[in-house]
Amino acid sequence: MPDEHALTLRQADQARADFYAIGDELDFIKGQLARLPTRKEMAQTALLATLTASALVLAGIEALFLIV
């Protein structure tokens, strides 16, 4: 009884090329995920934006009182 799962050399070579392509795509996806900001970085950015906006508002209020 012949082995029904046996591959020819051409099929094995094509499968190997497919596996390498999938591995390359996974490496690319891993690199993209590594570049995503962490929760801590997002919190720091939000805090910085809030403090900057509040400083600008306070500076605007001070400027209005100097004009009046």
C-alpha distances in Å from residue 55, one per residue of 42, 51, 60, 63, 65 = 20, 6, 9, 12, 15
| DSSP 8-state code for residue 42 | H
C-alpha distances in Å from residue 16, one per residue of 3, 8, 9 = 20, 12, 10
- For range 41-54, the mean pLDDT: 97
Give me the residue label for tokens 């690319």. Answer: 28
Write out pLDDT tens, residues 48-68.
999 999 999 999 999 998 887
Determine contact, residues 15/7, Cβ cutoff 8 Å. Answer: yes
| Predicted TM-score of the model (pTM) | 0.54
- What is the chain's alpha carbon radius of gyration, rounded to the nearest angstrom? 29
| For the chain, domain boundaries | 7-36, 37-68
- For range 38-53, the mean pLDDT: 97
